[in-house]
Structure 1
Amino acid sequence: MVDGLGLNVAPGLLDLQVYGAAGQLFSVEPSLEALQTLTEHAFEQGTTGVLATMPTNSLDMMRAALKVGREFQRQRPGLLGIHLEGPYINPVKKGAHQQEFIHAPSVAEIDALLEVAGGVLKMMTLAPEVATPAVVARLREAGVVLSAGHSNATYSQAAEGFRGGFAAATHLFNAMSALQGREPGLVGAVYDDPAAQASIIADGVHCSFAAVRISKKMLAERLFLITDAVTESQQGAYRFRRQDNHFVDEQGTLAGSALTLPQAVRNCVEHVGLPLAEALRMASLYPARVLGLDDQLGYLETGYTADFWLFDEQLAPVATARAGELVWHSKSH
């Protein structure tokens, strides 16, 4: 029995896009140590499962991320899989991604990545306008969730992508063609497709809270929260410095966030006006649906994995349980 008297309980949070934590950036050093730091930091924040994310990088780094992800999953809990964000993106919308590594995909290259992945590649962000039907089909055959992002797709290209195998969009509004009257772009296609899901960074910097509120009205249960969290880094292809509540790269371009999922949930309650229960679902049940894991995660019910977290009235994590094993974060317990 767990005595959580005076606390709140909710299903474990799930972050489908996180790069690093506490000075360990997975996208610079894809190591077991980086994954351990990332998953431990997430666990302390009530997040029981993450997709460690590798942004556009060399193929050697992509392969290294997949290889170490496989190894980590065999040894320790907390890693749902790897999210490759690129390198098959549109350079026009590269954001903080490195231009030199961006290129068009081929089925042969995808096959090589899938062979290294051995099932650990769960999500890939790519631009619909650069993904051929053959590439999309191969990734879908392997069970990879395709997310449209870093894309300058027209509405028609994006809509065709969602009809053809794309299931989601990455960090809505950021690094994608905007919704405009004459050209609704990728944002418009996400709103318009009845099944397209979208992640959003609810920090008030990557998009305004009004944009989160409008998108919630449009997408309802299809909108889910991510942190897009990075950490300080002064080496490798991705060098970030903190600026208030977000990070920028060496050129001052907006990069990742400094969010935790509990903070994102609280922002949705305090600044977007959502009920707490719905904001919590945006960080647990809805991302579980994206990965097809909502028969195991996202509910506190018989037959589901006993992943949950206890938190106080300020949404500060007090304890987290993974597979029923509870760890208190507060020394008072």
Structure 2
Amino acid sequence: MQQILVHARLFDGNQFHAGKAVILDGGIIGDIVDRPKSIGGFEPYDLTGLVLAPGFVDTQVNGGGGAMLNGGTTLEGLETIADAHRAHGTTSMLPTLISDRWQSMEHVASLISRAHRSWGENNSLSAIKGVHFEGPYVNPVRKGVHDEDVIRPVDEGALDLLTHPDLGVRVITVAPEKVGSHFIAELTRRGGIVCAGHTAGSYQDMLPALRNGLRGFTHLFNAMSPLESREPGVVGAALDDEDTWCGLIVDGFHVHPASMRLALKTKAKGKIMLVTDAMASVGARNKSFDLHGERIYAQDGQCRTEDGVLAGSDLDMMTAVRNAVELLGLPISEALRMASRYPAAFMRMDTSIGSIAPGFAADLVAFDPTTWTVRHSWINGYHRAH
């Protein structure tokens, strides 16, 4: 039976609509129609008082529900992560492996490949659109919480592992000054999406990387050389370039709201996307966890080591949307685009996800705009109430 979603305030990824209904035909959006007087023949969902929007797309998810991608997680652990973020509106995500040993990278690649083989059979795993390898080919000077013992030069076989087509969308964060532009060019040629992050490079270091396919900057401002008067740094290169995307952790802790507002005024429109950089604590009762043998604590919305170093975030995408509105003063429409349409474009998937339109995947979220809580989600047309 087809589903019909009625009485919501519809945001289609571009603009808001009133008096519209969305018809889901299996795993795709069938049509957007004027609200019918009769809904016979449909499975109806009354979304009175809710905003219906494209499901959120998060390109940087380290963990959730008590599970981390690092640490040899299983397929069940991957499902736990996806479920934890689905409850906060994320219907597409890239599980993210923080710098780790080669054996862990191989394990994660195998895990993502297995998740793709079950795509469509399990609606939670269907949220897994690929993988994000954040390191280990980064600069220890800007390592953040990454384990310096595993940061290293490029491994033999890295190109094949990082760009294997069975992995779906493949995002690779590197320090361009450490790996060189040839490596970036080859990753790009093989279908990888290369980002600069955890980098101490200069503005000049970024220029050959940009010419050779660099597509984005991982968590803008964090773990990269800053913008200064005579050395624009990586931040300057990111804001100056019109073609690349920047992820932004809008939790109020990673970046000052004024810096974020300046970035939004400077960067080309549509090129800044919300990311969570979420850790295991999101959606978990236990707010502490291990990363590379170090205990991380989530408190008051922050994840930190015992020494006080920021270690990812305790942020979810619904809260990121709220913060974009309340901290940054953005219209809710732009905040929603930053959570869906813009990251979908970054992932080269904006013809199938990130909008509510006929033929697009039936990946949607319905939330209460007064409390910023998710009430319903759909992934490939599979509904879940929250």
User: Could you say which TM-score interval applies, normalised by the shorter chain?
Assistant: over 0.9
Question: Mapping of 1:1-333 within 5 angstroms?
Answer: 1=4, 2-75=45-118, 76-105=125-154, 108-114=156-162, 118-120=166-168, 122-219=170-267, 220-231=269-280, 232-234=288-290, 236-237=292-293, 239-313=295-369, 314-329=371-386
Q: Secondary structure at the match of 1:213?
A: helix
Question: Alpha-carbon deviation of 1:158?
Answer: 1.2
- Residues 64 and 279 of structure 2 are in contact (CA less than 8 Å); yes or no, is this contact kept in structure 1? yes
Deviates more, 1:79-88 or 1:17-26: 17-26
- Residues 195 and 218 of structure 2 are in contact (CA less than 8 Å); yes or no, is this contact kept in structure 1? yes
Q: Secondary structure at the match of 1:101?
A: coil
- Give the TM-score taking structure 2 as reference length: 0.82
Question: Alpha-carbon deviation of 1:17?
Answer: 0.3
How many pairs are equivalent? Answer: 328
Q: Distance in 1 between matches of 2:185 and 2:257?
A: 36
Q: Distance in 1 between matches of 2:162 and 2:324?
A: 36
Name whichever structure is richer in strand by fraction. 2
Query: Match of 1:88, as an amino acid?
Result: Y
Deviates more, 1:186-195 or 1:158-167: 158-167
Q: Distance in 2 between matches of 1:165 and 1:97?
A: 25
Q: Distance in 2 between matches of 1:250 and 1:96?
A: 11
Q: Secondary structure at the match of 2:384?
A: strand
Query: Match of 1:282, as an amino acid?
Result: M
| Structure 2: tracts of 5 or more residues without a match | 5-44, 119-124, 281-287
Q: Which has the larger radius of gyration?
A: 2
Question: Alpha-carbon deviation of 1:74?
Answer: 1.4
- Residues 28 and 237 of structure 1 are in contact (CA less than 8 Å); yes or no, is this contact kept in structure 2? no
Q: Distance in 1 between matches of 2:291 and 2:174?
A: 25
- Residues 67 and 117 of structure 1 are in contact (CA less than 8 Å); yes or no, is this contact kept in structure 2? no
Q: Distance in 2 between matches of 1:114 and 1:208?
A: 33
Question: Alpha-carbon deviation of 1:121?
Answer: 5.6
Question: Alpha-carbon deviation of 1:6?
Answer: 1.8
Question: Alpha-carbon deviation of 1:118?
Answer: 3.1
- Residues 32 and 68 of structure 1 are in contact (CA less than 8 Å); yes or no, is this contact kept in structure 2? yes
Question: Alpha-carbon deviation of 1:283?
Answer: 0.6
Q: Distance in 2 between matches of 1:328 and 1:158?
A: 45
Question: Alpha-carbon deviation of 1:119?
Answer: 3.3
Identity level (%): 36
- Residues 131 and 167 of structure 2 are in contact (CA less than 8 Å); yes or no, is this contact kept in structure 1? no
Name whichever structure is richer in helix by fraction. 1
Deviation per CA, 1:112-157, whole angstroms, max 9, x where unpaired? 4247673346101001111223311221122111010000110011
Q: Distance in 2 between matches of 1:306 and 1:121?
A: 19
Question: Alpha-carbon deviation of 1:224?
Answer: 0.4
Deviates more, 1:246-255 or 1:229-238: 229-238
- Residues 89 and 103 of structure 1 are in contact (CA less than 8 Å); yes or no, is this contact kept in structure 2? yes
